[in-house]
Amino acid sequence: MNTHQNKVVEFEDLGINDYQSSWDYQEKLMKEIIDTKIKNRDLPTEEHLTTPNHFLLVEHPHVYTLGKSGHEENMLAGIDKLKEIEATFVKVNRGGDITYHGFGQIVGYPILDLENFFTDIHKYMRNLEEVIIRTIAEYGLQGERSPGETGVWLDVGKPYARKICAMGVKASRWVTLHGFALNVNTDMRYFEYIIPCGIKDKQVTSIKRELERDLTAGEMEDIKMKIQKHFADVFEAELVSK
């Protein structure tokens, strides 16, 4: 366990950024944290360097990503269709199956050294869900967890249960990668080309669809602010803008 627990999290809003460069950036931040942890192994405890934590928010242009445990047959669109809808397809090293990212969706990537917080991946996932549950509650939406499935759902246990936020994470030496994707103003037609998360009988939704109106650019920024606030509360962290 890290005896120099650092609860400060550097926050960055990357705006609109393509998936690959965001992934490369996450991996760079993760490597820096892991390199510090490896260095600490050779130092006496009192000389241990503190490891940083990061939290990125971003919107991606249309992209489908397939996790390492995923099945390619859940990607229903071929190369020609992907070109037509201006989307790309990327295989990634997170858990989970196929998911979609696109404009109007807020994607969050916490790159945390969990030894600064708690060493429990299950708790980490539940905390991420809690951040989103609290955020969408401010818009009158009751987010829930669905037993055996990650992410945040509405009307769990009912025939019209639907997922509003997908999650997929990876951890190495207790450092996290990937995160969540909250559908806000998302164009839901893009989900028609995949079996989301490999779950055939469940629907997906967005804040826009639930409120039956477009959210303004100002409201998108408000949601990002709310996510930051709830993230700081749930993880008992201090967010500082980079």
- Is 171 annotated as a binding-site member? no
99 annotated binding-site participant: yes
List CB contacts of 224: < 8 A, sequence separation 6 or more.
Answer: 13, 57, 106
Residues with a known catalytic role: 197
96 in a known ligand binding site: yes
φ and ψ of 132, to 5 deg: -70, -40
Residue 80 is assigned to a ligand binding site? no
Asked if residue 94 belongs to a known ligand binding site, the reply is yes
| 218 in a labelled binding site | no
Rounded-to-integer distance, Cα 180 and Cα 57, Å: 10
Q: Is 193 annotated as a binding residue?
A: no
Strand 162-172 and strand 203-204: the pairing is parallel
Residue 71 tokens read as 């099945």
232 is in an annotated binding site: no
Q: Is 180 annotated as a binding residue?
A: yes
Lookup: tokens for 90: 């990327």
How far is 184 from 59, CA to CA, in rounded Å?
Answer: 11
Q: Beta strand pairing status for 54-59 and 8-16? A: parallel
Residue stretches of the annotated binding site: 94-101, 166-168, 179-181
Binding residues for substrate: 94-101, 166-168, 179-181
